[in-house]
Chain A
Amino acid sequence: MKNMNDILLVVILLSVLLSLASNSLGTLVKIMAVQGVMVSLLPLLLEHHSSMGSGGLIFFQVMILIKGVLIPGLLYIALKRISIRREIEPIVGYHASLFAGLIIILLSVFITDKLHLSMPSGHELLLMTAITTISAGFFLMMSRRKAITQVIGYLMLENGIYLIGTALTKHSHTVYVVEFGVLLDLLVGVMVMGIILHNINHAFDDIDTDLLNRLKD
């Protein structure tokens, strides 16, 4: 079981690195779908969650559906509608981003070490992955110009927050307040951004966030 966990975490880390290095938006959405599924699978496989009621099981299945299908689907539709394929001229280049991703992983290990949280055994890697995902999400938002990439960065950030929630809850719980909160945030964020993207595209014929600068007072 523990190996299974580690495999999932490694896949998440790889997806983070891949997302930093990929320049095709379609690929990015697919990576996010995979990452979403992995992230929502993880609590099912953790040991202290093993005695889970049917309500919890249904909840996590819904979670997989939303994170793995619904949100990427919405993003994909948005992508189709504004018909752009690639992130051109990122603020930080792809190779540099990949390198930054590696540094982020190192930093996360350092921070996890420093935090001295009393974690359930075997969760150290989980916390590290979570912090990496959050930081990489931030990095993605800062280093790319297209609004849709920023939504994806935001998604990654929320995935990281969800992971931290999973890592820190020691006992199986019945009230999924944090998880629901994150989910709601995500859905609203994606929907709002979908609408805004459509409108920006309509107004400027592009979704470059540099154009958003004009909106300040």
Chain B
Amino acid sequence: MNFFLLSLAIIVVGGTIPLLTFRHFVLTKCIYVSVTAVGCISGLSALLSAASSPESLAWSWAWQHVFTLSFSFDSLSLFFLLPVFLICPLAAMYSFFYFERAENSLKTAVSYFFTNILIVSMALVTAASNMLAFALVWELMSISSYFLVMYDYEKVETRTAGYLYFLFAQGGALLIFAAFGVIFSHNGSFDFSRVVGIPDSAKLVVFFLAFLGFGSKAGVFPLHIWLPHAHPAAPSHISAIMSGVMIKMGIYGILRMYFMLGATDIRLGQTVLILGMISGLLGVLYALGKRNIKRMLAYSSVENIGIILMGAGFGMIGIAKGNSLMAGFGFAGCLLHVLNHSIFKSLLFLGAGAVIRKTGISRVDLLGGLMKRMPITGKTFLAGSLSISGLPPFSGFVSEFLIYFAAFQGLKYNHINLLLSIIAIISLAAIGGLATFCFTKVVGIVFLGEPRTEKVRLATDGGWTLTVPLSLLAIACLGIGIFPAPFITLAFSGLADVSFVSQVDPQLVQTIGTNLGFASRLFLIIIFAVILLRKALYRRKENTAGPTWGCGFTRPTTRIQYTGASFSRSVIDFFRPFALSRETEVRLKKIFPERTRYASWVEDVAEVGMRQGLALPLLSLLGKFRWIQHGNVQLYIGYIIVAILILLLILFI
């Protein structure tokens, strides 16, 4: 019996039971969480047992006697299965806290069902080993996640976000299928293992078609537009799964397609690297400009996808140049950042969800002072923020270090590769700096200071179903940062089946991991030492504590606090051509002016461009064909007859 399939079956059952028992709300939640957790844990153990002999898990199934769906595993797919089975049970557990209203129990049950379908389809995406199987589970993944985004379908903005997501998911799928079609037209086989045989010119077309398709799922600039709409609309643990795990399937697709094609054209790596830099820089810039906490996290996902792609780009350049160090560390950094990002991004989304659930506010500038009221949420969010900013001793630093290592390998070359490496190093540094700035803003405005509204003042931490997932994820962030060696080895083992990368000396990898771990632990010890020293020095002195942002006033108000908008203003203005910052004009007309309003917001270049360059012209063009739909049934039938006649005429002539 295939243990992996068994665990998937358990997960499906766990998703189906709530549909039957939704009348008993708490019972449903308990059953769902426990069954899903059991399924994911057994999936993990199947994964571990499969790590030694992945061939034992392969299976295929003739569907409708015509198509063969086959699934098999290699090291890459096993690596991408890890976040699926690690993050999803925690998100499921968190849903116990998040879905608290019993009157929505049917909606909750439906959401549970599609969540588990999503988990299963993601697991199968990594396992699919022919095009039909891949297409099937890929569509299943897109559609189930669409239903998850539509959870609050009563709201107009949720529906808009859902349609936008559906559009991008299906458009991307179309491009992927087009790439498959090109492959099929060359070798007439659906099997992934036979893709290598197609001619080089076709490989380029296939890769770029697939890159666009997978990129729209992963959120590569400028195809990321659905992310900042869909994530705020979806429930928080769904955002965590989607942002932490599902968009990584886009990355998996890009890597799988690249390794499958076996293309060594250097242009592939260069394109991926450049797009990664653009996504990274602009993603973090827009994250800085956004006020909605979940929208900001969505843009930060775009940024991290950019970093992941930069790693992949270096890996591809390394393979093209025959530099196994650059290839190995580029891809390993890419994979480790996939794992890290799935951990800290889901941590951040879950934390943000807790804040939103407890206060009902998602605007950063209306929150404040939550560190004292929600200490565990606050501290874990801080850990996630440090990690995502790539600061030692947290996990983000480790993977970014590997990518830096690959980037510095690029300095050996000349001309364009040297230039690209230098720009990449600079932009990686800039991304890290801006991300630190961005998360300083979020933590500073949301968790520090004083509460700005009454509901924020009354907020408290949730029960253990909230705190346990958050704490586990935060510990994982810190753990990977302090003991990076096994995880770096893990990332390299994910590349074990790439023959070129396995030339990297394992001794070197081990040494780098150990040194990195030593540096991180040293850093941690220094921090604690400084804190202790400060405590010791201040023990004898007199300390007074006043309210934050009291500023020496006798009657301070919470409205004099620094806001996120003003904090990020200077940086946004610096990047003006890319971040379209808009503001309403304020003009005082009378001597005693009336109440005035001021608003400022930052617009996304890609979104504005797509709206004005693509959507609006298309709408006005298609609007001209409106007369075709006149509502007369008889004429509609006439259309059918005309169509048939034209087809028959073509046949006769």
Chain A residues at the B interface, C-beta cutoff of 8 Å: 91, 111, 114, 138, 141-145, 150, 209-210, 212-217
Tell me, rounded to whole Å, the shortest Cβ–Cβ distance linking A213 to chain B: 3
B537 at the interface (CB under 8 A from A): no
Tell me, rounded to whole Å, the shortest Cβ–Cβ distance linking A118 to chain B: 16
Binds A, one of B189-197, B209-217, B629-637: B629-637
Known: A114-B652, A138-B641. A214 touches B633 (CB 8 A): no
Tell me, rounded to whole Å, the shortest Cβ–Cβ distance linking B640 to chain A: 8
**B641 touching A209 by the CB < 8 A rule?**
no
B638 at the interface (CB under 8 A from A): yes
Q: How far is the CA of A189 from the CA of B652 in the complex (A)?
A: 32
Q: How far is the CA of A209 from the CA of B630 in the complex (A)?
A: 13
Among A91, A142, A145, residue most surrounded by chain B Cβ atoms (within 10 Å): A142
**B633 touching A150 by the CB < 8 A rule?**
yes
Residue of B nearest to A210 (CB): B632
B window 505-557: CB within 8 A of A: none
Contacts of B640 in A (CB 8 A): 138
**A215 touching B631 by the CB < 8 A rule?**
yes
Residue of A nearest to B648 (CB): A111
Contacts of B652 in A (CB 8 A): 114
Contacts of A216 in B (CB 8 A): 629-631
Q: Quick one: which of B629, B632, B635, B637 contacts A138, CB cutoff 8 A?
A: B637
Q: Quick one: which of A142, A143, A213 contacts B630, CB cutoff 8 A?
A: A213
Contacts of A143 in B (CB 8 A): 634
Tell me, rounded to whole Å, the shortest Cβ–Cβ distance linking A150 to chain B: 7
- Number of A-B pairs whose CB atoms are under 8 Å? 33
Known: A114-B652, A138-B641, A142-B638. A209 touches B633 (CB 8 A): yes
Binary interface encoding of chain B residues 617-653 relative to chain A, with 1 for a CB under 8 A from any of its CBs, else 0: 0000000000001111111011011000000100010
Chain B residues at the A interface, C-beta cutoff of 8 Å: 629-635, 637-638, 640-641, 648, 652
Contacts of B641 in A (CB 8 A): 138, 142
What are 30 of the A-B contact pairs (CB < 8 Å)? A91-B634, A111-B648, A114-B652, A138-B637, A138-B640, A138-B641, A141-B634, A141-B637, A142-B635, A142-B637, A142-B638, A142-B641, A143-B634, A144-B634, A145-B634, A150-B633, A209-B632, A209-B633, A210-B632, A212-B631, A212-B633, A213-B630, A213-B631, A213-B632, A214-B631, A215-B631, A216-B629, A216-B630, A216-B631, A217-B629
Tell me, rounded to whole Å, the shortest Cβ–Cβ distance linking A124 to chain B: 18
Residue of B nearest to A216 (CB): B631
Tell me, rounded to whole Å, the shortest Cβ–Cβ distance linking B67 to chain A: 18
Contacts of A215 in B (CB 8 A): 631
Q: Which 7 A-B pairs have the closest CB atoms?
A: A213-B631, A216-B631, A142-B634, A209-B633, A141-B637, A142-B637, A138-B641
Contacts of A142 in B (CB 8 A): 634-635, 637-638, 641
Residue of A nearest to B640 (CB): A138
Q: How far is the CA of A171 from the CA of B634 in the complex (A)?
A: 38
Tell me, rounded to whole Å, the shortest Cβ–Cβ distance linking A131 to chain B: 11
Q: How far is the CA of A210 from the CA of B638 in the complex (A)?
A: 15
Tell me, rounded to whole Å, the shortest Cβ–Cβ distance linking A98 to chain B: 19
Q: How far is the CA of A191 from the CA of B631 in the complex (A)?
A: 22
Q: How far is the CA of A54 from the CA of B328 in the complex (A)?
A: 69
Q: How far is the CA of A98 from the CA of B550 in the complex (A)?
A: 93
Tell me, rounded to whole Å, the shortest Cβ–Cβ distance linking A136 to chain B: 12
Contacts of B633 in A (CB 8 A): 141, 150, 209, 212
Contacts of A138 in B (CB 8 A): 637, 640-641
Contacts of A141 in B (CB 8 A): 633-634, 637
Tell me, rounded to whole Å, the shortest Cβ–Cβ distance linking A58 to chain B: 26
Q: How far is the CA of A213 from the CA of B630 in the complex (A)?
A: 7
Tell me, rounded to whole Å, the shortest Cβ–Cβ distance linking A45 to chain B: 30
Residue of B nearest to A145 (CB): B634
Tell me, rounded to whole Å, the shortest Cβ–Cβ distance linking B532 to chain A: 70
Q: How far is the CA of A217 from the CA of B652 in the complex (A)?
A: 38
Contacts of B630 in A (CB 8 A): 213, 216
**A209 touching B629 by the CB < 8 A rule?**
no
Residue of B nearest to A212 (CB): B633
Q: How far is the CA of A217 from the CA of B633 in the complex (A)?
A: 14
Q: How far is the CA of A23 from the CA of B635 in the complex (A)?
A: 21
Contacts of B638 in A (CB 8 A): 142
Tell me, rounded to whole Å, the shortest Cβ–Cβ distance linking A94 to chain B: 16
Tell me, rounded to whole Å, the shortest Cβ–Cβ distance linking B86 to chain A: 46
Q: How far is the CA of A114 from the CA of B651 in the complex (A)?
A: 11
Residue of B nearest to A111 (CB): B648
Tell me, rounded to whole Å, the shortest Cβ–Cβ distance linking B624 to chain A: 16
Contacts of B631 in A (CB 8 A): 212-216
Contacts of A150 in B (CB 8 A): 633
